Amino acid sequence: MLNLITETMLYFGRGAEPSLEPPETDEILADCGHEIYPNEPVYISPSAGTLCEQCVRDRAQDLDAAALAAALGYERSYVL
């Protein structure tokens, strides 16, 4: 019986129950899910929300040449 009481006391003595409220932190997350630090740029997209710099670079690398040229305002032409 003493062993059961000791185990029960150890179980309940582990500390307070976890809070149901989210932790209070100074962490700022962009919509892409990455943390944004003070004085760091954040980019706003009408379709994706806010993006960190690395996600913008990743999306730019995924573009083909025609899409990248159009995004930069270049006109595409062909040699005849």
* Residue 8 clears pLDDT 90, i.e. is over it: no
Per the structure, the complete domain to which residue 53 belongs is given by 26-73
Three-state DSSP string of the chain:
CHHHHHHHHHHHCCCCCCCCCCCCCCCEECCCCCEECCCCCCEEECCCEEECHHHHHHHHHHCCHHHHHHHCCCCCCCCC
Domain assignment of residue 67, yes or no: yes
Domain assignment of residue 80, yes or no: no
Domain assignment of residue 18, yes or no: no
Give the pLDDT of residue 27: 78
* Residue 9 clears pLDDT 50, i.e. is over it: no
